[in-house]
Structure 1
Amino acid sequence: MNENTPEDENELVVTRDGSHTVYSSQFDQHYHNPNGAVAESRYVFFQQPGLLDALKGNDEITILEIGFGTGLNLMLLLDYYLSAESTSQINYYSIEGFPLKAETAKSLNYHKHLENPQVGKKILNIFGNLDKGMNRFSPLDNITAHLFNGMFSDFPDTPIGAEYIFHDAFSPDTNPDLWTGQVFKKIREISKDEVILSTYCAASKVQGAMAWAGWNIAKTQGALGKREMILGALNPSKLEGLKRVNEERYARRYEEGDFN
């Protein structure tokens, strides 16, 4: 997602765990880690923030994803939900500025990596049928997906009570608009106090932007050859036992423009 650039040609690529990713010539970057698209998403967005345990608790859950991309994270959520026999009520919000073309999406092989392969088709079939703005659909009885086809800057700033944030945009070097302090401030303001944010990225400029926006930050082991990744929370107790960063120092450096 980028604030100004139209969709360009995309190419399917097989990653090392056998699952597809997409190479975007628009951003000169893969949508996922070439070492394993499915493996990375499982680790970063489900295992590290504790979402798998939350699904077993059968509580109401609200998720916000920055960068719908191939729809992989939503497919994994549905797959985990069915496998856990969860009864949670889930609201899944996602934002995508440039949805994949339907023919590209329908060629993705994620169904081969799911315990419940039918959920893959449910998600891939929505590409090509998206209106501008908010699209709502229910892939499972207790799950409502709210897919915003547009830019993050146009996403409503009304609080949605997000408890889990999947920050899954293209990298800050390629797509800096989605990694600013103002972006993380808006995410904070529409989330619950007990929210936890996970992202594959651990760049210093991202830590600075998050700290400036009022997030507590911890670094943990990255996925598939990446040294580190970030977890963020508004309540510092959510990061107990993890390697914390000096948020005050990062926020000051961000304010002073050290990361520009």
Structure 2
Amino acid sequence: MVTTIDGSNTLFSKEYNQHYHNVNDGAINEALSKHVIPALKFHKGKSHLRILDICFGLGYNTFSTLYYILEHNLSHSVEIFTPELDPNLIESLKKFTYPKEFVILQPIIKELLTNKTYKSDRFCIHLYIGNARDYVKTLKNIDIVYQDAFSSEVNQELWTVQYFTDIFNACSQNCILTTYSVATPVRLSLYKAGFFIYEYIPTKRKITLAFKASSSSMGEYIDMELKQQRNKKAKALLDE
């Protein structure tokens, strides 16, 4: 366990040789600023949202979504679909020390980690233990995608054109995808899958937003065709 700059805890993955969160940004701050707040801002006028959280990991994106809705008295109801490959990680989270912001969510966290599902009048969470590539093919009408897998350098299978094509097909027409990655190969993979690419600066770091339809409401449009013309060596990521 590692304490990040905002006081919230994260873990280090020996398998991927990376922390689950940027220690210098803070785990809960990263979840809120890079995913939850931009996505809910974009969908501020929609009452019910279907969210795909790739991948569950320590649950910060999922739990931060509920926390932010409750803390700011938003009217949204949400249904969250989130895959996680490692069942041992989920079991270990029963003893994980979550931040004080999540105290109100403790009954939800406990039930979800035990039963892999949670349901109330406003919130519904489906935690799928298995391969995210298989899971996304079963979903439809997703309004928000938190693309928060380990980096493409160590987890390329969750950043390829083929993977993002499946994500594209699972999305509603007015979907927003958020990701911390600003790497050109990742953006090209999203673009080749059909997404419009935008750059957004929620706080101190740039992030990428992707949309099924062009959007003028958030971020700066990135012309990926022009980028590829200027950088002939830039390539999208493909399944091996």
- Of the three residues 12, 22, 37, the one matched with 1:47 is 37
In structure 1, what is the equivalent of residue 112 of structure 2? Answer: 126
- Count of aligned pairs: 235
Unpaired runs of 5+ in structure 2?
A: none
Q: Does 1:196 align with 2:182?
A: no
Q: Which amino acid aligns with 2:134?
A: D
Q: Residues 208-240 of structure 1, C-alpha deviation per residue, up to 9 Å, x if partnerless?
A: 10010010001122655x4x2100001102x44
Looking at structure 2, the residues matched to 58 and 240 of structure 1 have their Cα atoms a distance apart, in angstroms, of: 15
Identity %: 27
**SS of match in other structure, 2:166:** helix
Looking at structure 1, the residues matched to 31 and 231 of structure 2 have their Cα atoms a distance apart, in angstroms, of: 28
The 1:177–1:58 alpha-carbon spacing in structure 2 relative to 1, beyond 3 Å, is: closer
Looking at structure 2, the residues matched to 259 and 253 of structure 1 have their Cα atoms a distance apart, in angstroms, of: 15
Q: Which amino acid aligns with 2:61?
A: N
- Of the three residues 76, 86, 93, the one matched with 1:88 is 76
Looking at structure 1, the residues matched to 41 and 222 of structure 2 have their Cα atoms a distance apart, in angstroms, of: 25
Shift of 1:88: 3.0
In structure 2, what is the equivalent of residue 9 of structure 1? Answer: none
Unpaired runs of 5+ in structure 1?
A: 1-11
Q: Are the counterparts in 2 of residues 208 and 250 from structure 1 also a CA contact under 8 Å?
A: no
- Shifted more, 91-100 versus 247-256: the winner is 247-256
Q: Are the counterparts in 1 of residues 140 and 169 from structure 2 also a CA contact under 8 Å?
A: no
Looking at structure 2, the residues matched to 252 and 168 of structure 1 have their Cα atoms a distance apart, in angstroms, of: 28
- Listed as ranges, the matches of 1:93-108 within 5 Å are 93-99=81-87, 100-108=89-97
TM-score (norm 1): 0.80
Q: Does 1:161 align with 2:147?
A: no
- Listed as ranges, the matches of 1:230-245 within 5 Å are 230-237=208-215, 239-240=216-217, 242-245=219-222
In structure 2, what is the equivalent of residue 38 of structure 1? Answer: 28
In structure 2, what is the equivalent of residue 73 of structure 1? Answer: 61
Q: Are the counterparts in 1 of residues 48 and 76 from structure 2 also a CA contact under 8 Å?
A: yes
Shift of 1:137: 2.1
- Listed as ranges, the matches of 1:154-233 within 5 Å are 154-155=134-135, 157-221=137-201, 226=205, 228-233=206-211
Looking at structure 2, the residues matched to 246 and 145 of structure 1 have their Cα atoms a distance apart, in angstroms, of: 36
Q: Are the counterparts in 2 of residues 185 and 214 from structure 1 also a CA contact under 8 Å?
A: yes
Shift of 1:121: 4.8
Q: Which amino acid aligns with 1:137?
A: Y
Q: Are the counterparts in 1 of residues 197 and 211 from structure 2 also a CA contact under 8 Å?
A: yes
Looking at structure 2, the residues matched to 159 and 250 of structure 1 have their Cα atoms a distance apart, in angstroms, of: 32
Q: Which amino acid aligns with 1:39?
A: N
Shift of 1:126: 3.3
Q: Are the counterparts in 2 of residues 58 and 86 from structure 1 also a CA contact under 8 Å?
A: no
Looking at structure 1, the residues matched to 193 and 227 of structure 2 have their Cα atoms a distance apart, in angstroms, of: 11
Looking at structure 2, the residues matched to 80 and 233 of structure 1 have their Cα atoms a distance apart, in angstroms, of: 23
Q: Are the counterparts in 1 of residues 112 and 127 from structure 2 also a CA contact under 8 Å?
A: no
**SS of match in other structure, 1:155:** helix
Give the structure with the larger helix fraction.
2
The 1:186–1:254 alpha-carbon spacing in structure 2 relative to 1, beyond 3 Å, is: farther
The two structures, once aligned, show a CA RMSD in angstroms of 2.7
Q: Are the counterparts in 1 of residues 188 and 235 from structure 2 also a CA contact under 8 Å?
A: no
In structure 2, what is the equivalent of residue 145 of structure 1? Answer: 125
The 1:149–1:176 alpha-carbon spacing in structure 2 relative to 1, beyond 3 Å, is: same
Shift of 1:109: 2.5
Shift of 1:45: 0.9
Looking at structure 1, the residues matched to 207 and 118 of structure 2 have their Cα atoms a distance apart, in angstroms, of: 31
Q: Which amino acid aligns with 1:185?
A: T
The 1:255–1:102 alpha-carbon spacing in structure 2 relative to 1, beyond 3 Å, is: farther
The 1:88–1:253 alpha-carbon spacing in structure 2 relative to 1, beyond 3 Å, is: same
Shift of 1:87: 4.1
